[in-house]
Structure 1
């Protein structure tokens, strides 16, 4: 069969930088001095310098955003958060698509998000904005968490293998900052401290440009299935991201690596596009997989600049690798999600 390529990636983030404001608010929710000191130490070690949100921050003590979406003592219910997602998501998606560059002949549209849902939804908004033909095949990937970008690329890959004339637009959009919770637990607040908003758009086709997509593999880790969870609650989506995840990855990844790496050794891969779920997650992947020294530098740079944006984040890493324009390099992309599960993609630069 003809090879399939990830041709281009465009990205976009909102204009509001919020990391300091969100951190100060979270720290103010912790009642005990000892717990606040622990939170501060862990936040200092997060590897995150900036995060971006559709919400404009408010610098006054005890407040989150300037408009009062998060009113202390009266955080919004899920319906209000979904209405905000529906209102804000299209504009950010349009910016990512514009960054992708000229598009023509799109036959398939794959949209992934786990932070908001509406029907008719983002796929319809994109179709109308881009003037796509009404026969374009649309697929929505929902609630697969941070690994959804690789799942969406797998769907695009399969579409092009089935029809080499196919041109697939893949959009990953998450507004993670719509799901803050007013809770005092340190582990939960550290989880919220990771996440920001962002969007990626990508073109997948049979044109030999960008990254050749060589194969995909998934691994479920049922022994840790409750360590990452994402469920709909009355006041937004309830995120569980256990501090045990890094330890679980160190234990679970090594026996699964031969399959995930397509039968090759770690040193056979020059590029490691690892989803930066957090500094400790990247440290765990380094310990478990033993990639070449410095191979996770682009993942760490994306984490520092954007935090964890859920599904688009690994696409930001892949875009940085594509911009280096060094042909003939073999790579592996890896992202983690609820389950605990890992989705991987093998690729090569052309």
Structure 2
């Protein structure tokens, strides 16, 4: 059976660090001192130092969040204006991510393109824009993985995995592109602003082929946690896409993972293996409390999720691109050979997982 490998991973983020700008915005809009103090306490505990955006911060933050005026106080832009910004700027960031792979002339030999995004929609889409920008074959096979949230990183790799296994000569370019900061909401609701505190923009591009180099992709498995469908929602509104991220998500993840470790048969997340048999844990950096929940639920040591925590601290949660940032660091710095388990969480509440081997 043909094995699919992630041969390379490239990443890119926009130039503007907006973490402090967005915190200042929330501090202005929260209704009272008690709520502001609570928000500031959560900021300190978030373990995030930087988040990047395609939106340049304004010189007049009391009147508007960004220079373009998308987020003017009391006049935040509607969904149409936000999608126009996505159409204009997403392809630029995606192109930078692909170029960081260093494929140059080899791009002409790419046979399949898989694009994952949940933060913007246009037609012609980002896939067709990239074909034009990168000079890819006009007959390239294209697949869009849309609106599946943070877990879409795994779904996009799953598509590439199946393509390579069915067509061993395939060269699959996978692009995860998210402009999360296009969906800032002007609301005094603390839970909504705390969700916005997590997210930044980013792009990851990867090359998946049958060439035995890099990360070998093994079995994929998804687990849906019962009675949790309302804990993560992502709905299109008149003022952008509205994220709802319940505080119940971390305890539900911890509980489900504890049950998985007790169950531990060949149909479970651990595939019947003990946690000690895994050298690497590539976990989507959805937030500090998410990573804490995984660590506690699986009973992992304090350094097991250091790759994920580093990505969270330096970039925040970039939705579907985030897990690929984690895997890139493992490719660069983790010992080889290593056996790993990757997982990401998304609306459902689902845990999308796969095993992998780092071969160097």
**TM-score, normalising length: structure 2:** 0.95
> Match for residue 87 of structure 1?
88
In structure 1, the residue matched to 2:207 is 203
C-alpha contact (below 8 Å) 2:119/2:179 kept by paired residues: yes
- The CA RMSD over aligned residues, in Å, is 1.1
Judge conservation of contact 1:267–1:291 (CA < 8 Å) in 2.
no
Q: Does 1:182 pair with 2:186?
A: yes
Paired residue secondary structure (1:100): coil
Go from structure 1 to structure 2 and tell me whether the alpha carbon gap of 1:112 and 1:333 turns closer, same or farther (over 3 Å shift).
same
Q: Which runs of 5+ in 2 are unaligned?
A: none
Secondary structure of residue in 1 paired with 2:289: helix
Deviations 1:73-102 (A, max 9, x none): 111111111111011000000000000111
Q: Specify the SS of the correspondent of 1:331.
A: strand
- Which residue in the other structure is 1:101 paired with? 102
Work out which of the residue numbers 117, 142, 159 in structure 2 matches 1:113: 117
Cα contact 1:194–1:278 (8 A) shared by 2 = yes
| TM-superposed deviation, 1:215 | 1.2
Relative to structure 1, the CA distance from residue 27 to residue 315 in structure 2 (aligned partners, 3 Å threshold; closer, same or farther) is same
> Are 2:347 and 1:338 equivalent residues in the alignment?
yes
Aligned to 1:130: 134
Contact 2:280-2:341 within 8 A present in 1 as well: yes
Gaps of 5+ in 1: none
CA contact (8 A) 1:78 1:236 kept: yes
CA distance in 2, matches of 1:313, 1:332: 15
- 1:194 offset after TM fit, Å? 0.5
Q: CA deviation at 1:323?
A: 0.4
Residues 39-96 of structure 1: CA deviation (Å, up to 9, x unaligned): 1101110000000000111253433112211011111111111111011000000000
1:222 CA drift (Å): 3.0
1:207-246 → structure 2 map (5 Å cutoff): 207-246=211-250
8 Å contact kept, 2:5–2:213: yes
After TM superposition, which residue ranges in structure 1, 4 or more long, deviate above 3 angstroms? none
Q: Is the 8 A contact 2:285 2:317 kept in 1?
A: yes
User: TM-score if structure 1 supplies the norm length?
Assistant: 0.98
Deviates more, 1:146-155 or 1:287-296: 287-296
Residue 260 of structure 1 aligns to a residue in which SS? coil
Q: In structure 2, what is the equivalent of residue 42 of structure 1?
A: 42
1:70 aligns with 2:79: no
